[in-house]
Structure 1
Amino acid sequence: MDEEVKVSISGIPYQVSVSARDHRWLADEPTDISGGDTGPNPGELLLSSLGSCTAITLTMYAQRKKWPLEGVEIDLRFNSAAKPDPKTTVIDYDIRFIGNLTDEQRARLMEISHSCPIHKVLTNPVIINAKED
């Protein structure tokens, strides 16, 4: 993965400008914690990365197999009640496959859902190096 994302904040409290390649979007915090709610919060962005990657991976796999997958819907959430310890994060997600798939195809797609690159990043050790520029 060679992606690069640029993030900046100034002026509007908690509103962050994000850019990647030729794309631009905002992240923000909800109004109940003094944000402007002008975009998803950082946790929602993380969940959207996992969900997007999973949906794309499943679609690509089904297309290669020529399976009748017409769509994928995924609901993701952090599950703080299921945390086994303070350092562990639990993410739950529900996947709905749209299309006339067999039970075997659905089971295989559930297995493949763990193969997307973002899932692999989140389930393996991550080293984050920060330096002042």
Structure 2
Amino acid sequence: MDEIKITIGKEKYRTEVHINQHNLIADEPVEVGGTDLGPKPTSILLSALGTCKAMTMRMYADQKQWPLDAVEIILSSEVVKSTQQQTTYIRCTVKLFGDLDEVQKERIFKVGDKCPVQKILSNPVIIESNMLQ
């Protein structure tokens, strides 16, 4: 299991992300008070979805020994608020490269929707926060 540790100091809004032996910086754009030293948290969330979909497609094509040369995924999100709820629309545009027939392309595309991150985001999520003393 991954150990993920997030730390933020007084530097607005530069945040260190430590995932096992990997480190990255998250931040906010200058126009909202950040220093733009890294992607904003929502972009990291979208990148988690995109990378998971791409890896799942790659694994499936490799298992089938299909000639998938590359996967390109463009993601965007939009939040729509109403008086009763907030809905987030995530759009994923997928482009598959390689000498694939239409049946192979469609199957690879559909398998991408079964990636673990999409399953998490598509089902109810309960976040339990606890404060250590």
TM bucket, shorter chain: over 0.9
Alignment RMSD: 1.4
Distance, in Å, in 1 between the alignment partners of 2:32 and 2:87 is: 24
What aligned pairs does 1:1-133 form with structure 2 within 5 A after superposition?
Answer: 2-80=1-79, 86-133=85-132
CA distance in 2, matches of 1:124, 1:4: 23
CA–CA distance in 2 between the matches of 1:110 and 1:32? 36
State the percentage of identical aligned residues: 39
Q: How much has 1:101 moved relative to structure 2?
A: 0.5
The Cα shift of 1:87 comes to 2.3
Aligned partner letter, 1:46? L
Structure 1: state its 5+ residue gaps. none
TM-score (norm 2): 0.93
For each residue in 1:3-36, what CA deviation from the matched residue of structure 2 results, as whole angstroms up to 9, or x when unmatched?
A: 3311010031110000011000000000000100
**TM-score when scaled to structure 1?**
0.93
After TM superposition, which residue ranges in structure 1, 4 or more long, deviate above 3 angstroms?
83-86
SS at match of 2:75: strand
Q: Hey, what's the Cα distance between the residues in 2 that align with 1:119 and 1:4?
A: 21
Aligned length: 131
| Displacement of 1:118 | 0.2
Gaps of 5+ in 2: none
1:33-89 Cα offsets, whole Å, 9 max, x none, are 0100000000000000000000000000000000000110000000336x7874221
Normalized per residue, the structure richer in strand is 2
